[in-house]
Amino acid sequence: MMKLYPKETSSIQKQPKKETIQFLINFSKSLRIVETKSKDFIELNLN
């Protein structure tokens, strides 16, 4: 019998690319947050 609907997308496909995950991990490693005396935050990206 002909299938009217395509096979449901596998849940394995519904996830972000490995590059995106790696970017986030690298981003986190390179990010330093410094709190100033006036209680503001400064972001330092140490690449």
Partner 1 sequence: MVRNNKISDSILVSDYIGGKEASLSILINRHKQRLYSFIYSKIQDKDLTEDVFQDTFIKVIRTLKKGNYNEEGKFLPWVMRIAHNLVIDYFRKNNRMPSFKNTDEFDIFSVLHDGSLNAENKIIQEQIYNDVRELINELPEEQKEVLVMRLYKDMSFKEISENTGVSINTALGRMRYSLINMRKLIEKHNIILVN
Where on the chain is the footprint of partner 1 (CB under 8 A)?
Answer: 11, 14-17, 20-21, 23-25, 27-29, 31-33, 35, 41, 43
Here the tokens at position 12 are: 């394995």
- In the complex, the smallest distance separating the C-beta of residue 21 from partner 1, rounded to whole angstroms, is 6
The distance in angstroms from the start CA to the end CA of the chain is: 57
Q: Strand pairing of 41-45 and 31-35? A: antiparallel
Q: Which residue has the tokens 């986030």?
A: 24
- In the complex, the smallest distance separating the C-beta of residue 28 from partner 1, rounded to whole angstroms, is 5
Decide whether 11 or 47 has the Cβ nearer to partner 1.
11
